[in-house]
Amino acid sequence: MVICCFNVHGDSNFSQNLPVAPVVAENITPPPDLASQTLKSLGMVLLFLGVLLVASWYVRKRSGNFALRKSKRIKVLDRVVLDMRHSLALISVDGANYLIGVAPQSITAVAEIKKPAVDLEQHS
């Protein structure tokens, strides 16, 4: 509805005599409040982190299956970490025991152990 009026009387207070129509706001949505926007953003971040965590777990589990296959002939009996990059491992291959040194770029046979490995915790 459009109201159009003309001042034909030369009245300077014409604008004060005009009726004021109320403005009706239809189909106008109020702006979202800050709390709901924050919760939506937090929810999306948590969802993303959850998906990332599940994907990481799945990849680790699937890649671990290839690296940790059970062998009938080779067993790792014990392992001692020397520092962040080096360790000693006692392995059994077809019943013979070997002490090996493990480094990032190499594996070295240190000695063949003639005696069977003895578990000190069982004998104390």
Query: Could you tell me if 91 and 98 are in contact, meaning their C-beta atoms sit under 8 angstroms apart?
Result: yes
User: pLDDT per residue over 64-87, tens digit each?
Assistant: 655 556 778 888 889 999 999 999
Instruction: State residue 36's pLDDT score.
Output: 85
| pLDDT (average), residues 20-26 | 62
Return contacts of 23-32, CB within 8 angstroms, 24+ apart: none
Is pLDDT at 51 greater than 90 in this prediction?
yes
Is-contact 78 117, C-beta < 8 A? yes
* pTM summary value: 0.41
Domain boundaries, the chain: 74-115
